[in-house]
Amino acid sequence: MVSRIGKLIREFIVILSIITIIIGLILLSMGVLWYGFPDFVEQSNELGIVYQMGDWNAYLLVIGLIIFGIGVYYLYVYLMDKKFILKEIKTDKRSEFIKKHSELRNTVKRLPSKYKKMLKDKEKELGIK
């Protein structure tokens, strides 16, 4: 069951990272509004939930910062891995590909299945097992 969840998360890592960033920003902004602009929060009807949360906004501020950081980290790692894979797969030199082959295989494990297929196709094209 864990491997199924891991595969599902890998397939939708970009969407999940963006959702995590949005949730983190919402929680972070609630805390910042409560501590940065308390008079504005009390007078505004639209920010009633921030006012009702009261001192819990301190926890929301910290939790929002952590969640935002996690989302940014996973999105950054995905984008860097994707950039590395696409750069290395473009090469037509078998020797260069063999030098990076183990690193490519390890990187592809963290990416969606389409990158595994791209790596297999390149291995087949260059005659590497």
Query: How many domains does the chain fold into?
Result: 1
Three-state SS string over the chain comes to CHHHHHHHHHHCHHHHHHHHHHHHHHHHHHHHHHHHCHHHHHHCCCCHHHHHHHHHHHHHHHHHHHHHHHHHHHHHHHHHHHHHHHHHHCCCCHHHHHHCHHHHHHHHCCCCHHHHHHHHHHHHHHCCC
pLDDT at 91 over 70: yes
Q: Give tens-digit pLDDT for 39-52.
A: 777 777 677 777 77
Q: Which domain holds residue 86?
A: 2-126
pTM of the model: 0.82
Output Rg (C-alpha) for the chain, integer angstroms: 22
Q: Give tens-digit pLDDT for 3-57.
A: 788 888 888 899 999 999 999 999 999 888 888 877 777 777 677 777 777 778 8
- What integer pLDDT is reported at residue 75 of this predicted model? 95
